A and B are shown apart, each in its own frame.
Chain A
Amino acid sequence: MRIILHIWRQRNAAEKGRMVRYEVPTVSEHMSFLEMLDVLNEDLIVKGEDPVAFDHDCREGICGMCGCMVNGVSHGPLPGTTLCQLHMRHFKDGDELYLEPWRARAFPVVKDLVVDRTAFDRLIAAGGFISAATGSAPDGNAIPVPKENAERSMDAAACIGCGACVAMCPNASASLFMAAKIAHLGLLPQGHPEREQRVVAMVAQARQELFGSCTNIGECEAVCPKEIKLSVIALMNREFLRAKWTGRAGLVDD
């Protein structure tokens, strides 16, 4: 089939970008979306035109490196699917697709569809961990974890840090990403000693990174390729209130 692409082209962070129209005339239904971009790039290189820069690595939906807006939706139309796992059988001959990079102030464009997501790393560095220095651990079975809690923790831990939630959110909020980490660690007994500091420090960092606030719209949940539930944000809010009531975090005064 033939697919028409309008792709955001921007040489670097300093220059202005624009949409450019391309045609890929030989798309097979078995191709992945990124393989279609490979075919386009191969063609551009032979013609001597600069290939489209896009981030990708594992191409099996787990590294979280790929992603762009397809017709205004993070990772395209298929629910629970990253761009690399989206196959062309979900499109039809003659479809016109608009590809743009993640749009968020906290994710500046590096080139074409590539953005800088290091703000996510700084959120984790602020508190998204359990301080268990190597060598200090008790036996793995010393702390039983109810199966249900382990499952809920795993549901949240499945986040791949791709940024689709931020890109889709009208407020460019990182709440789903942060809350997934807070839920993952907070639902396990190992995560309890640091629960107050964790939530307070991460929320403070998110403000510094200029991520927006959550206004319960739910676009994030709708596009999350790992189907992280909006309820983790409620859990984060409870953890935040708890931290303030107990006063143990002692890190914010607002």
Chain B
Amino acid sequence: MELDSKCPTGPIETRWDRHRFNLKLVNPANKRKHTIIVVGTGLAGGSAAASLAELGYNVKCFCFQDSARRAHSIAAQGGINAAKNYHNDGDSVYRLFYDTVKGGDFRSRESNVYRLAQISLNIIDQCVAQGVPFAREYSGYLDNRSFGGAQVSRTFYARGQTGQQLLLGAYQALERQIGTGQVQMFPRTEMLDLIVIDGRARGIVTRNLITGSVESHLAETVVLGTGGYGNVYYLSTNAKGCNATAIWRAHKRGALFANPCFTQIHPTCIPVSGEYQSKLTLMSESLRNDGRVWVPLKKGDHRPASQIPENERDYFLERKYPSFGNLVPRDVASRNAKSACDEGRGVGESGLAVYLDFRDAIQRLGKPVIKERYGNLFDMYERITGEDPYQAPMRIFPAIHYTMGGLWVDYNLMSTIPGLYVIGEANFSDHGANRLGASALMQGLADGYFVLPNTINDYIAATKLEKIDTAHPAVKEVESQVACVTRRLLEIKGTRSVDSYHRELGKLMWEYCGMSRTAEGLQHALSKIPEMRDRFWHDVKVLGAGEELNQSLEKAGRVADFFELSELICLDALDRNESCGGHFREEYQTAEGEAARDDDRYSYAAAWEFRGVGNPPALHKEPLSFEYVHPTQRSYK
């Protein structure tokens, strides 16, 4: 299969403009004759559904939660990047582009990233107009703060709830369209399969989570904005419901899956406290603006933080990376925290934590300023741990947070199945091997508000589709396959719960395909996963029936998909014999322990084709070329 990224050529500054001009349009009167399905209502899905409806398309929008406002974008805390240069500190579209390509460790497409940086400007304008209450200065103008991987202040924020406020903006725009009837909303409805007819995406099969009824929905195009797959690891900062089912089932229907091993570990999460732990809570990266990361200089130093004198503390990020200090990118910060713990210098009961200390910032700025900046995060920390971070430093440890990999898409955001678009975290396109902080919100909204509504017209205008209805044999076939999987899960009647299997898989993945990976470990994981999957399919215990609200059944379907996806993640990690960004292979590191890329052999996006469960997938490579930002070893020293 030839992967055509459809990236424009020529001067990068005008690529998106010229590309847009060359795309076909659909005239306003014709738009209302077309239906678009949007799955997911996060920043990407929600903004896309609203914007497509504003254009005049009929939109059918789906989410598994009880309301479109609950999608996990809501939990993003720190902020959203935009190259506004409101602070006159040397920022520009080009610098945001440069930082993002470099931050992604040279594994993303230059054309996509440049477009993202350009659109970042429009996003802020759009969100302000919708009433997002961004932080302001006393002048009344917008305030900014700094984030990891950048030396300028370009992050716009709404306290520690930026994701919530941006999502509510998109949600309210969506509700406005629901109110006018332009969008038909299906909450508590989960997509369980993709309908492909004559090689084109034509609809989805869903399960109504309250009644259990399996239904088909047809359209001219299908858009997936269903988020990432971090929950493969069981413990992650994702919401409990986040899952890979929509993208995985689309993958099984022919959409290639790109760079699955590019997973992001966030350095500042609250550490695990026990076996019952159901999720990990993130402490925003913005805390690293004022918090200092340290561990005791000596191994096994169990004194409380307050009794460790200054000269016996190791501020390891400031020591190793003097120019970026505590604001190094996430992958670098996480790996350094892990090595400090591996050396036996970790803190807390488990020894799996490092300190994030605000003592100096509180002395310098006073408690009220710190409270104003991070009050809600400090409160959250205290609620969860029972400790007061104004008095003693926070204990933090890295956790799975985001997945850069996802379904392969071209510059138009279309997957390898014509008519299937993938936006936001669900696609692989913009972050390369590592995402910079405050860039996920930017990408989700760029895709949904500004990219997709421009590119989708081209496909609709150029494609003549045969009329179909739900009686079509291909539709019936997919419906019966979905019903069959549900029946199978209910009929196993084994001995162990879905969660217990999920936890087992998560532990294996975290151990062998987490923060650092080895060929040997990955091979071990690859030998264990099929065996575990087999046990799951013979021994899982799902009670109740398919025709009712059945939360165990919902989970079972998602975990079954994780069992297949995890194998692909390990395979991709094993195949990529280099270290880059979030993918750190212990065999490939520099003398100083930094990630060693191999640009000669691995400067490509690895797009995998499904060939049946248990069969090796086929690898297709999209070569990456860098005309503007030349690959160098990333240095934050």
Contacts and interface: CB of A to CB of B under 8 A. Distances in A.
A120 B276 CA distance: 33
Interface in A1-27: 11-12
B122 A35 contact: no
A140 B125 contact: yes
Interface in A142-188: 143-147, 150, 153-154, 157-158, 160-161, 184-185, 188
Nearest to B237: A60
B311 interface: no
A121 B438 CA distance: 28
B369 to A, nearest CB: 14
A182 to B, nearest CB: 11
B67 A146 contact: no
Interface in A26-75: 28, 30-32, 34-35, 38-39, 41-42, 45-46, 48-51, 53, 55-65
Contact of B131 (A48, A53, A86, A191): A191
B142 A51 contact: no
A215 interface: no
A217 B134 CA distance: 32
Interface in B96-147: 122, 124-131, 133-142
A125 B176 contact: yes
B75 A111 contact: no
B585 interface: no
Contacts, number: 218
Contacts of B159: 154, 158
A125 B178 contact: yes
Interface string B370-398: 00000000011001101000000000000
B54 A133 contact: yes
A124 interface: yes
B450 interface: yes
Interface string B41-58: 000000100110010000
B240 A56 contact: yes
Interface string B66-79: 11111010110000
Contacts of B137: 147
Contacts of A141: 84, 86, 141-142
Given A35-B276, A140-B142, A190-B131, A57 B72 contact: yes
Nearest to B454: A135
Interface stretch (B322-330, B506-514, B527-535, B540-548): B540-548
B274 interface: yes
Given A35-B277, A144-B140, A147-B140, A57 B176 contact: no
Interface string A186-212: 001011000000000000000000000
B305 interface: no
A141 B127 CA distance: 12
Given A60-B75, A110-B210, A131 B141 contact: no
Given A59-B240, A62-B74, A150 B133 contact: yes
B250 interface: no
B241 interface: yes
Interface residues of B, number: 82
B176 A45 contact: no
Contact of B75 (A63, A120, A184): A63
Size class of the A contact interface (CB-based, 8 Å): 35 or more
Interface stretch (B164-172, B296-304, B576-584): B164-172
Given A58-B74, A118-B67, A130 B130 contact: yes
Contacts of B543: 45, 48-51
A56 B135 CA distance: 29
B239 A126 contact: no
Given A134-B126, A147-B136, A150-B134, A42 B66 contact: no
Contacts of A51: 543, 551-552
B175 interface: yes
Contact of A129 (B122, B172, B497): B172
Interface string B300-337: 00000000000000000000000000000000000000
A184 B129 CA distance: 13
B189 to A, nearest CB: 12
A30 B171 contact: no
B133 A154 contact: yes
Ranked 5 nearest A-B pairs via Cβ: A144-B140, A137-B129, A125-B179, A129-B172, A132-B129
10 contacts: A38-B276, A48-B543, A58-B75, A58-B239, A124-B175, A130-B172, A137-B128, A147-B137, A154-B135, A184-B133
Interface of B: 47, 50-51, 54, 65-70, 72, 74-75, 84, 86, 122, 124-131, 133-142, 156, 158-159, 161, 164-165, 168, 171-173, 175-176, 178-179, 185, 187, 210, 239-241, 273-274, 276-279, 281-282, 379-380, 383-384, 386, 449-450, 453, 495-497, 499-500, 541, 543-544, 548-549, 551-552
Interface of A: 11-12, 28, 30-32, 34-35, 38-39, 41-42, 45-46, 48-51, 53, 55-65, 78, 80-81, 85-87, 89, 110-111, 114, 116-118, 120-121, 124-126, 128-141, 143-147, 150, 153-154, 157-158, 160-161, 184-185, 188, 190-191
Given A51-B551, A57-B72, A153-B131, 11 more contacts: A32-B278, A58-B240, A78-B383, A80-B379, A117-B66, A118-B187, A121-B178, A124-B171, A129-B176, A132-B126, A134-B450
